[in-house]
Structure 1
């Protein structure tokens, strides 16, 4: 899994998203994501993370083993 794949998948669901993806181990399965998006406006932290999980879909059960999220809405 490449950072570009994750970024593109998230932007399909959240077009306004500014995404930074960091491969924490170099193996392509442990990721740290920083996402800032208007789509998060009005959502609490849990709801923001759920939106990211939904965007990543089946990857959360396969190629992505661990995920660290830092999400923010855009005012």
Structure 2
């Protein structure tokens, strides 16, 4: 069963409370999303580490309920890593 965009956003916000989260359904099928996550807690972290934190927040749902997630992470000053 596909995940709702709001569920994805809620899970990320629960794990990373200071994050600004934007979720877009890329295909309109509830399976392919893009997420932009901006958080001060990402400061000093590599992009890989930032993405690991977001995937951890999703609790193993990648590849199952959530088929594909195009992920962009950044710190609040607008600098993507």
Query: Which of 42, 56, 68 is the matching residue for 1:66?
Result: 68
Considering fraction of residues, name the structure with more strand: 1
Q: Please give the secondary structure, in 1, of the residue aligned with 2:60.
A: helix
Unaligned runs of 5+ in 2: none
Considering fraction of residues, name the structure with more helix: 1
Give matches, 1:2-21, under 5 Å: 2-21=4-23
Moved over 6 A (4+): none
Q: How many residues align?
A: 75
CA drift at 1:38: 1.4
Equivalent residue for 1:38?
Answer: 40
Unaligned runs of 5+ in 1: none
TM-score normalised by structure 2 residue count:
0.85
TM-score normalised by structure 1 residue count:
0.92
| Distance across 2 between alignment mates of 1:57 and 1:32 | 17
| Distance across 2 between alignment mates of 1:40 and 1:58 | 21
CA drift at 1:58: 2.1
Alpha-carbon displacement from aligned partner over 1:6-60 (angstroms, at most 9, x marks no partner): 1110011100110000011111111100110112111110000011110011211
Q: Please give the secondary structure, in 2, of the residue aligned with 1:7.
A: helix
RMSD (Å), alpha carbons:
1.1
